[in-house]
Structure formats: C-alpha cells, structure tokens
Structure 1
C-alpha cells in the first residue's frame, strides 16, 4: 500500500518537475560549456595565488593579534 502511494507521488509529482527541469538543463549546458574554458584559464591563476594567500593569511592574523 505504501509502495503504491510512493509510486503515485513519484509519477504525478516528481515526474512533471523533472520534465520541467529538463529544458532548463539543456539551456544551462551550453553556458557550462562556455564557462569551462574560463575555469581552465583561471585555475592556474588560482593555483598561483593560493600560496600567496597562505603566506598572507598568517601575516594578517599576526598583525591582528599583535597590533603595533
């Protein structure tokens, strides 16, 4: 009985939502493909800035804890 109720909920509630979201996914996919090269471009920059950030963070903490 509960299994049947679950099936009804899935079929009548979740399926229309899925059908509604599907075109949205098709719309967002090209945007993702467009942003991917940008991400690949920004990744090396991020990996370059990360050590700088990890160096500056303790410095900022030190200056905050021990003000002049």
Structure 2
C-alpha cells in the first residue's frame, strides 16, 4: 500500500515538476541560466 501511494504522488508531482523546471531555470541566477537553453526569454517561449 505504501508503494502505491508513493506512485500516485509521483504521478501527480511529475507534471508539476515539468512545469516548474523552466521557471526555476529562468529565475535562479545559476550558471545553467547562462547556457543557451531552448527558452532564453522564460518559460513562456517553451513550446515542446
């Protein structure tokens, strides 16, 4: 039962993580934000 609950939570959080990843890349002043990423102007231009 414990693993099934974890699986359901993972399935629910996966789309959220995918949505927040471009936002984190555009907001955090990390070296990764200086790389030529597919969405240089923010997550709004990412249309994969």
Q: Please classify the TM superposition score into its range, dividing by the shorter chain length.
A: 0.5 to 0.7
Give unpaired runs (5+ residues) of structure 1: 1-15, 48-68
Instruction: Tell me the C-alpha RMSD between the 2 structures.
Output: 1.7
TM-score, structure 2 as length reference? 0.54
TM-score, structure 1 as length reference? 0.40
Larger-gyration structure (1/2):
1
| Larger RCO (CA under 8 A, 6+ residues apart) | 2
Q: 1 or 2, which has the higher helix percentage?
A: 1
Residues matched between the structures, number: 31
Q: Which runs of 4+ in 1 moved over 6 A?
A: none
